[in-house]
Amino acid sequence: MTTILARFALMCAALLAVPRVVSAQARQTPSPTGMRTIEVRAPVRGEDVVRTAKQYLGVRYVLGGTTPRAFDCSGFVRWIFAQHGVRMPRTAKEQAAVGDAPVPGDLQPGDLLFFFGGRGAQHIAVYVGGDTIIHASSSGKRVKLDRFGGTRARPTWFGKRLIAVRRVLPAEGVVELPVSASSYDRGTPPEMETTLLYLEPPVVY
Tens of pLDDT, residues 160-205: 999 999 999 999 998 778 876 555 455 544 444 333 333 334 443 3
CA-nearest of 101, 103, 76 to 165 is 101
pLDDT at res. 24: 33
pLDDT at res. 5: 52
Tens of pLDDT, residues 61-77: 999 999 999 999 999 99
pLDDT at res. 136: 98
pLDDT at res. 38: 86
pLDDT at res. 178: 83
Tens of pLDDT, residues 79-97: 999 999 999 999 999 999 9
Higher pLDDT, residue 94 or 30: 94
Q: Which residues of 32-60 are buried (b: 16+ CB within 10 A; e: fewer)?
A: eeeebbbbbebebbbebbbebbeebeebe
Average pLDDT value for the chain: 80
Instruction: Decide if pLDDT at 129 tops 70.
Output: yes
Q: What is the mean pLDDT of residues 20-29?
A: 35
Q: What is the mean pLDDT of residues 123-141?
A: 97
CA-nearest of 77, 81, 145 to 114 is 77
pLDDT at res. 128: 98
pLDDT at res. 21: 32
d(C-alpha 50, C-alpha 196), whole Å: 25
**For the chain, which domains are there?**
46-169 (3.90.1720.10)
How many CA atoms within 13 Å lie on the side-chain side of 118? 0
Instruction: Decide if pLDDT at 18 tops 50.
Output: no
